[in-house]
Amino acid sequence: MAEATETTASVDEAAKKQFVIIVNLEAKTVDSREVSYEQVVKLAYPTPPSPETRFTVTYRKAEKPHEGSLAPGQSVEVKKDGTIFNVKATGKS
């Protein structure tokens, strides 16, 4: 029985280190409290429409700051569950 308890404890610890975010209305799991523009775009568009595509990323219900937008190279601290991201392909800028 000790082995089952250890396995359950490992699963519980792993779950504590995961954060559920919403990207374009789909729940996604990330392993870090800090989520970058690049991570969110990749979750929204695993295969970009074209190499020239640019993206607008907005968020709300984050830890800090609570809402705003992300540009390439920026990141935001998400809550354990429920930070919402909207990623929109915008074409060339």
Convert the pLDDT of each residue in 13-49 to its tens digit.
545 679 999 999 999 999 999 999 999 999 999 998 8
Domain boundaries of the chain, sorted by first residue: 18-91
User: CATH number of the domain at 18-91, please?
Assistant: 3.10.20
CB contact set of 93 (below 8 Å; sequence gap of 6+):
54
82 residue type, one letter = G
pLDDT tens, 49-72? 888 899 999 999 999 889 999 999
